[in-house]
């Protein structure tokens, strides 16, 4: 085990869990957080490098308390990786306002709460990294995903602003923009998901991006994300026409 430490939120399943296991196998100490304490304990039980710190990121004060607990126990936090997220495609089709508020509260404000907890720590230390999981869904609005796309778009632009704020203090800010990854969240989707990859695939790409690169954005799989980047810069009339046609092809 080396002396490197990463804190991962949203670590009870999906990308967060796979990334925690990947970093632990690479010899890092890994602090994992999520609401489901039983799942965190199960992950930690099977990995001696992983330490559970239960947390609901929508609790502003608890985010600060948990961060301090991690700092006191593990002494140093090199990377803070904020991966908490939710999506409810069924309710979005019905424009369920309460559910959209919940999505924004978890995905956007929950991540902001987490960033707030570590902001001064990195600013004063003048080293380290904050990484935020967004999505290619944040590039443009997609069907039946208004709340989700909005939350991810907000995270991406917030990360861009944070990049400039913290670069002056030698702190790296990065954004992760995955395509479709097979997780409990994407299992809710009732349409074809092109080039869907496993959480382990995502973990390998993220590990490499966080530890062996200085890029602002870590995105994958490249064949899919480059197509999404082309859509991002298209004029509105063309983008809307292509997505409308694509909806019929994938059964939406």
- CA dist 121 and 250 (Å) reads 46
Sign (positive or negative) of CA dihedral 92, 98, 99, 101? positive
Do the Cβ atoms of 201 and 178 come closer than 8 Å?
Answer: no
Cα dist from 217 to 57, 127, 148, 157, 161, whole Å: 23, 19, 19, 12, 13
- CA dist 198 and 177 (Å) reads 15
The one catalytic residue among 60, 148, 163, 239: 148
Do the Cβ atoms of 191 and 252 come closer than 8 Å?
Answer: yes
Instruction: Please write down the HEC assignment for all residues of 74-128.
Output: HCCCCEEEECCCCCCHHHHHCCCHHHHHHHHHHHHHHHHHHHHHHHHHHHHHCCC
Q: Is there a catalytic annotation at residue 139?
A: no
Do the Cβ atoms of 22 and 207 come closer than 8 Å?
Answer: yes
The H or E element that residue 228 is part of is helix 222-233
Q: Across-strand partners of 50?
A: 30
- CA dist 199 and 180 (Å) reads 10
Do the Cβ atoms of 184 and 171 come closer than 8 Å?
Answer: no
Query: Could you list the active site residues?
Result: 148
């Amino acid at each position: 085990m080396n002396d490197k430490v990463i804190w991962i939120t949203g670590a009870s399943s999906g990308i967060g869990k796979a990334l925690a296991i990947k970093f632990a196998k690479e010899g890092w100490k890994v602090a994992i957080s999520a609401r489901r304490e039983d799942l965190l304990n199960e992950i930690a039980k099977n990995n001696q490098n992983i330490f559970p710190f239960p947390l609901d990121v929508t609790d502003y004060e608890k985010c600060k308390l948990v961060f301090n607990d991690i700092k006191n126990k593990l002494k140093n936090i090199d990377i803070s990786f904020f991966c908490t997220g939710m999506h409810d495609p069924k309710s979005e089709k019905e424009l369920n306002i309460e559910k959209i508020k919940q999505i924004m509260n978890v995905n956007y404000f929950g991540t902001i709460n987490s960033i707030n907890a570590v902001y001064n720590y990195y600013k004063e230390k003048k080293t380290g990294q904050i990484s935020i999981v967004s999505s290619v869904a944040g590039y443009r609005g997609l069907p039946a995903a208004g709340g989700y796309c909005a939350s991810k778009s907000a995270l991406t632009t917030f990360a861009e602003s944070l990049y400039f704020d913290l670069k002056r203090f030698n702190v790296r800010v990065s954004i992760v923009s995955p395509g479709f990854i097979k997780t409990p969240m994407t299992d809710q989707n009732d349409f074809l998901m092109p080039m869907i990859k496993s959480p382990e695939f995502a973990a390998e790409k993220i590990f490499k991006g966080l530890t062996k690169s200085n890029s602002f954005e870590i995105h994958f799989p490249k064949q899919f994300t480059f197509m999404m980047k082309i859509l991002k810069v298209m004029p509105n009339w063309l983008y809307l026409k292509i997505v409308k046609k694509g909806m019929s092809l994938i059964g939406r």
